Structure 1
Amino acid sequence: MRKLKLTDLADHHRGPTFTSVLPGHVVERGGFRVYAQPGFRTHDEPGRHVHTVPEVFVIVQGSGAIEIEGVEADRFQAGDVVVFEPGEDHHLISQGADPLVFTWMHLEPVA
């Protein structure tokens, strides 16, 4: 897992290329989520939640804990960019007063 700030991203991003986060990768798919419930935990299905590709979360609003392999590894807040590596069991847990709002993206290597 890596954590950046939105201000760390280069200002040249256009389209699906995400070169300043993971050089040589593009966005395969993604989405936008809003969760008003305090204590919300992403990917809260039974078992491990992993991907074969990197996953990037851009935190628009809210704050909370980053969980890796079942253990709190870090904290997040609005303006953070969190990159989970392939194979990492990962979750975000909303712990702030504001609703958790984020975008997510699965990246794939450029062919």
Structure 2
Amino acid sequence: MRKLAVSELADHYRGPQFTSVLPGHVVQRGGFRVYAQPGFRTHDEPGRHVHSVPEVFVIIQGSGVIEIEGAEVDKFQSGEAVVFEPGEDHHLISRGSEPLVFVWMHLEPVE
């Protein structure tokens, strides 16, 4: 797992871009989520939650903790991007008073 501020992304004439974070990758699919309830845990189905490709979360609003392999390892807040590596069991847990709002993206290598 890597965490960085959106302001740390390489600048581009159209603004920050993610190619500096994972060069050679493009977005495979993604979406936008809003969770109003405090304590929300992403991917809260039984068992491990992993992907065969990197997953990026860009936190638009809210804050909380990052859980990897069942342990809370770091915190997150709005304005940050969290990159989970392939095979990492990962979750975000909302702990703030504001609703958790984020964009998620599964990336795949460019061939």
Task: Normalising by structure 1, report the TM-score.
Answer: 0.94
Alignment match, 1:53: 53
Structure 2, unaligned runs of 5 or more? none
Alignment match, 2:102: 102
Contact residue 18 and residue 26 of structure 1 kept, 8 A: no
Contact residue 60 and residue 79 of structure 1 kept, 8 A: yes
Residues 61-110 of structure 1: CA distance to partner in whole angstroms, max 9, x if unpaired? 00000000000010000001000000000000000000000000000000
Structure 1, unaligned runs of 5 or more? none
> C-alpha root-mean-square deviation of aligned residues, in Å?
1.3
Distance in 1 separating the partners of 2:13 and 2:46: 36
Q: CA deviation at 1:19?
A: 1.1
Alignment match, 2:6: 6
Distance in 1 separating the partners of 2:13 and 2:100: 24
Distance in 2 separating the partners of 1:104 and 1:36: 17
Percent of pairs with identical residues: 81
Q: CA deviation at 1:10?
A: 1.9
Aligned residue-pair number:
109
Alignment match, 1:84: 84
